[in-house]
Every structure is written in C-alpha cells, then in structure tokens.
Structure 1
Amino acid sequence: MRAGWFRRGLALPAAERRLAVEAFILLAVSRVMLALLPFRVAMDWLGLRLVHGAGPGEEGNVPAPVVPLVGEAVCRAAAIAPFRAVCLQQAVTAALMLRRRGHATEVHFGVAKDGNGNMIAHAWSRCQGRLVTGGRQMPQYQPISVFVT
C-alpha cells in the first residue's frame, strides 16, 4: 500500500508534493517534541497557547485555498509515516503549517467515553472556521480545551 501512495505522490503537482514533504517533516518534529517534553512545554515551544473559551472563532471568514491543501498534505504524510501519526500530531502539524502561511489555527481537544465507559481523547484542527484535520471523529467528542497559533 505504501508504494501506491508513493506513486500517487509523484503524480501530484510540485506545490502539493512540497506541502506533503513539509507535513512529513513537521509530523516527525511534533511527534518527538510531544514524546520527549512535558505537554505544556512542548505546546509552548511549538508556539501553541491555551485560550479560555471557544477560541478566536473565525467562522465568518472565507477559507484560504491553502487550508484544504494543508489538510490533505497532513493526511498523506500520516499515511506513509514510519510511525503511528496520531490525531494530536496531525492537528499540531496542520497548525504549524498554516501559521507559517499567516493563518491563525486552533487545535481542539475533546473527550468521550468508549463502549466500555473508558475515557478516550481526540484532537482536531480548525482554520478560518473550517476543519483541517480530525474532522470525521470530532462530533462524538466533547471539547475541553483549545490551543491557538
């Protein structure tokens, strides 16, 4: 399956290939930072700060064309990463990529209970009112915190 992703990646326009490579590198950086440092320190070093309330709320803005491209690039990179790129790493990566392009991004954390009553967590990212990563699972989670770039 990975070879198929590689061949399809070569068929991408150069700009999308560059985004996918950037996403791959930032996935690895976010994984290392989040694994080695205490969570608050890692988020601070990555330039994400905790906000109280729902976040900046840019629902009315027209999303920049790069927003969905970044989401797709993160998804591509996560699919071929030699490590398990979980939702938190994907959300942080999307936020870093979009911040580099001048767009404020939110990383949301939510919790829910699984079928056995155990607490489970999920992270997703939003930019200009649009979901960038983690959108499919997001509705079942109760938001508990938001970090912004």
Structure 2
Amino acid sequence: MNASRLRRGLSLPAAERWLAVEGLAMLAVSRAVLALLPFRIAMRWLGLRLDRRTGIAVDEAGETPATPSVLLVGTAVRRAAAIAPFRAVCLQQAVAAALMLRRRGHKAQVHFGVTRDHDGMITAHAWTRCQGQVVTGEQGMARYRPISVFVT
C-alpha cells in the first residue's frame, strides 16, 4: 500500500474514512464471490438481477439530481480501490457500489458494455448508475456498447 495514499486517507473526516472502509469490504466481498461462483449465480447471490424488460435499462428521464449519499458512495469505492491490497477492477467496483447503494435504500444499475480494441479483440467494462448519475466506471465508458444491465 502506498504510504502517501494511506496518510491522505487518515486526514479524511471520520464519516468518509468509515465509508471507504465499507467500500473496501464490499470490494473484497464482490471479488471473492465473483471469483468463486459462476457469474450468473454470483450476481444472483449478490442480489443483482438481470433487467429483462428492455435488455438495456436506462435511468428515467427527468429524474432528480443524485443525492449526496450516492456521490459519496462513488468516491468511497474509488478511494478503497486505490488502497486495496488486491487489484479492484471495474466489475468489482461496480458491484461494490451497487451493494453500498442498496444498503442506503437506492436502486442501482450495474451496466456491462463491450468494444473492440485496436487489435480487434473484444474488451469489456462495467459501471454503476444511480439516480441518473454514473457512480463508478465513468472513465472510458463512452467507448463501450452496453449489452446488459443488472439491477438491485
């Protein structure tokens, strides 16, 4: 763990530190479940179900701006991923954020998208949306074509 990142984390207000600790715990849970179980079973076990209504769910138009708790969850997951003693990829971050948002009474969506890289290989990305806001995975997300959505 990078010592300067740890020092910065210790300078956070207590509430934000605890949120980052929760984020780290949710990252560990999502990493373990996704590594140990087949994907479909893992998502069901985590309480995320495939949205079959439209195939690709989108947030309702005209929805109110994201509440502060939604934005804080995204920040906490990014902080936790930066200090995690394991590599926390976009899928684990998206699932961790969805779990944290559900704990706070919010409905979240975990989106999956694919694209082809410059060599023609398919690459994938996952991101979380809640209340019309991208919570995790926003960086580079525009390159990916959404293929499925899991909802809390």
Class of the TM-score when normalised by the shorter of the 2 chains: over 0.9
Aligned to 1:25: 25
Aligned to 1:50: 50
Aligned to 2:11: 11
The Cα shift of 1:65 comes to 0.6
Identity of paired residues, percent? 66
Q: Work out the CA distance in 2 between the residues paired with 1:61 and 1:147.
A: 21
Q: Work out the CA distance in 1 between the residues paired with 2:72 and 2:84.
A: 18
Does the aligned pair in 1 maintain the 2:108–2:130 contact within 8 Å? yes
Aligned to 1:142: 145
Unaligned 5+ segments in structure 1 are none
Letter in 2 for 1:58: E
Q: Work out the CA distance in 2 between the residues paired with 1:140 and 1:5.
A: 30
| Count of residues paired in the alignment | 149
Name the TM-score, length of structure 1 as normaliser.
0.96
Of residues 95-104 and 2-11 in structure 1, the stretch that sits farther from structure 2 once superposed is 2-11
The Cα shift of 1:58 comes to 3.4
The Cα shift of 1:56 comes to 5.7
- Runs (4+) of structure 1 exceeding 3 A deviation are none
Query: What does residue range 11-90 of structure 1 map to in structure 2 within 5 Å?
Result: 11-52=11-52, 53=54, 54-55=56-57, 57-59=59-61, 60-90=63-93
Name the TM-score, length of structure 2 as normaliser.
0.94
Aligned to 2:132: 129
Deviations 1:73-123 (A, max 9, x none): 101110111111000000000000000000000000000000100000000
Q: Work out the CA distance in 2 between the residues paired with 1:109 and 1:102.
A: 22
